[in-house]
C-alpha cells in the first residue's frame, strides 16, 4: 500500500487527481454480470426509449465507482475514504458505436486541520455535461 499524501502539503483548490474512463456497451454487460443489475435499460435501446430515455444508460453505481477511483488511487488506501456522496444529475448515455467517456477531476475543496480530513470535490462529466453533482469524498490523512 502506498503512503497517503501529506495533509500539510495540501491547499484548497489543488487538483489531486484526474482520469478518464471509456465505457462501451460491452462494459455495461460485464458490469451487469458482476453487479447482478440486468435492467434492460442498460443494454437495450428499444427498452430504454420505451421508458422515455434517450438510449442505453450506464449503471449509476458504475459511474459513481469510476468517479471515486482517482481519489482511491491518489490516497493509496480505500480505507482512508471516510465518506463518499454524489447526486445523480444526468444519465450517462452509452452510444452503441462511440460509447462514452466519463472524465473526473478531483480537487481539494476543504481541509480540516483538527481531524486531518480533506474534502475532495469531484467534477464528473461526459463531454461538456456534468453527470454527478455534489460529488464529494472525505479522506482521512496523516
- Reading the chain (142 residues) residue by residue, the pLDDT tens digits are 667 899 999 999 999 999 999 999 999 999 999 999 999 999 999 999 999 999 999 999 999 999 999 999 999 999 999 999 999 999 999 999 999 999 999 999 999 999 999 999 999 999 999 999 999 999 999 8
Report pLDDT digits (tens) over 103-127. 999 999 999 999 999 999 999 999 9
pLDDT tens digits, 88-106:
999 999 999 999 999 999 9
Kindly list the domain boundaries of the chain, sorted by start residue: 7-23+58-140
- With beta carbons less than 8 A apart as the criterion, state whether 56 and 38 touch: no
63 backbone dihedrals φ, ψ, rounded to 5°: -60, -45
Q: What is the pTM of this model?
A: 0.93
Q: Which CATH superfamily is domain 7-23+58-140 in?
A: Hotdog Thioesterase (3.10.129.10)
Distance in angstroms (rounded) separating the CA atoms of residues 14 and 25: 34
Amino acid at each position: 500500500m502506498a503512503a497517503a499524501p501529506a495533509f500539510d502539503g495540501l491547499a484548497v483548490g489543488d487538483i489531486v487527481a484526474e482520469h478518464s474512463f471509456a465505457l462501451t456497451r460491452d462494459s455495461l454487460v460485464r458490469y451487469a454480470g458482476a453487479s447482478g443489475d440486468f435492467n434492460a435499460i442498460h443494454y437495450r435501446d428499444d427498452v430504454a426509449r420505451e421508458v422515455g430515455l434517450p438510449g442505453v444508460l450506464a449503471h449509476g453505481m458504475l459511474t459513481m465507482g469510476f468517479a471515486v477511483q482517482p481519489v482511491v488511487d491518489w490516497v493509496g488506501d480505500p480505507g482512508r475514504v471516510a465518506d463518499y456522496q454524489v447526486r445523480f444529475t444526468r444519465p450517462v448515455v452509452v452510444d452503441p458505436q462511440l460509447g462514452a467517456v466519463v472524465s473526473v477531476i478531483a480537487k481539494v475543496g476543504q481541509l480540516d486541520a483538527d481531524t486531518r480530513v480533506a474534502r475532495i470535490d469531484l467534477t464528473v462529466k461526459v463531454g461538456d455535461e456534468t453527470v454527478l453533482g455534489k460529488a464529494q469524498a472525505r479522506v482521512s490523512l496523516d
